[in-house]
Amino acid sequence: MREWLNQNPKVVIVIAAASLSILLGIVVELVIPTNGYRAKDYEKEWLYNLNTGELFTAEIGRFKITPTPASGEPAVAKAYVFSYAYEPNESERFIGFLEVPDPAAQRSDSPSDQSTSHAIGRWGRGKLIRRLDDEQWVPGDSEQGRTILAEVFVPDKNGETPGYCRPQ
């Protein structure tokens, strides 16, 4: 082998150049910061018609979720749909909870109530949530709200927790 390499120095140069190129590529990849993984933004959201009981999807922001003037109840709520299956069909999905904005909440990024410092509390601030069969809306950052969220993620008999089903 050594004798063949001595007789073919161009092969040694090509192998060395290729190795150096690969090494430089790896170093550049490791040293230069990249944006990393960027989650794909959702274009649609799940919505639930509280008057008809219909679950549907729409472009994000297409429906304004506000109380109806007649009853004070919202006509449409944002729905959070989950499934224990990896690629669920319609019958394998379930509505974990519904969400509407809390009309009594302060619209501020620096809330005066600092009692909910954990992530679920921060997420739930300014939102009312309820189970599909519940009558009463509860604040998302309340104890009742945290109970609803915890119930959604209870593992099934196989120990699997449900995952969010992205609307198509």
**What pLDDT, on a 0 to 100 scale, did the predictor assign at position 109?**
47
Based on the fold, state whether residues 81 and 27 are members of the same structural domain: no
Backbone φ and ψ of 123, nearest 5°: -65, -40
Count of domains observed in the chain: 2
Nearest-angstrom CA–CA distance, 77 and 101: 9
Which residues have CB under 8 Å from 61's CB, separation 6+?
A: none
**What pLDDT, on a 0 to 100 scale, did the predictor assign at position 121?**
57
pLDDT digit string (tens) for the chain, length 168 residues: 888 888 888 988 999 999 999 999 888 887 876 666 555 667 899 999 988 899 999 888 887 776 555 566 668 899 999 999 888 888 899 999 999 888 887 554 444 445 545 565 577 788 899 999 998 999 988 999 999 999 999 999 989 999 999 988
**What pLDDT, on a 0 to 100 scale, did the predictor assign at position 163?**
92
**What pLDDT, on a 0 to 100 scale, did the predictor assign at position 130?**
92
**What pLDDT, on a 0 to 100 scale, did the predictor assign at position 116?**
47
**What pLDDT, on a 0 to 100 scale, did the predictor assign at position 47?**
92
Based on the fold, state whether residues 70 and 21 are members of the same structural domain: no
CB-neighbour burial class of residue 135 (10 A; exposed 0-12, middle 13-18, buried 19+): exposed
Helix (H, G, I), strand (E, B) or coil at 28: helix
Indicate whether 36 belongs to any domain: no
* Long-range own/partner contacts, residues 150-155 (CB < 8 A, 24 or more apart): 152/80, 152/82, 152/96, 152/97
Domain around 123: 44-164
Nearest-angstrom CA–CA distance, 81 and 55: 10
